[in-house]
Structure 1
């Protein structure tokens, strides 16, 4: 079942407000369990984790910043 545009916007907002901060805390906690690696390796780990978190949510974020495709524009209302 495909999510509606409004549902995807709400879910994206929830992911960004609740999920992303929780993921950041979890990533930092996991990296801190090990002895601190060299700066470049640590940076690579955080960049990799930063990209990794978004992969499962690509379908939610796709097209969210664009106008609602189901909304009837003013030009179409006049016809």
Structure 2
């Protein structure tokens, strides 16, 4: 998918405002389903879920912190 820089910025904002809170709810729910395991298992679950959540959106967030490449200099 080829999105413009502005579209990727808007999509990244939408993902962070809606997707990140949804990830937090899902992650906490998953940890509660396994009856609050030890600290290390809980940390591992959060890390794995965080990676699984972020990987599909890598193309959206890549280069967002940079200046707009489509905007002319000047």
- Shorter-chain TM-score range: over 0.9
Equivalent residue, structure 2, for 1:33: 33
Gap runs ≥5 in structure 1: 75-79
Q: What RMSD over aligned residues (CA atoms) do the two structures have, in Å?
A: 1.0
The separation in 1 between residues aligned to 2:47 and 2:34, in whole angstroms, is 17
Q: Which residue of 2 aligns with 1:77?
A: none
1:8-67 Cα distance to aligned partner (Å, 9 max, x none) = 000000000111101110111122012221111111111111122110000000111101
Give unpaired runs (5+ residues) of structure 2. Answer: none
**TM-score scaled by length of structure 1:** 0.87
Mean alpha-carbon deviation: is it higher for 26-35 or for 6-15?
26-35
**Structure 1 segments of 4 or more deviating over 4 A?**
none
**Could you tell me which residue of structure 2 aligns to residue 46 of structure 1?**
46
Q: Which structure has the larger Rg?
A: 1
Aligned residue pairs, count: 74
Between the aligned partners of 2:40 and 2:53, the Cα distance in structure 1 is 20
Using structure 2 for the length normalisation, give the TM-score.
0.93
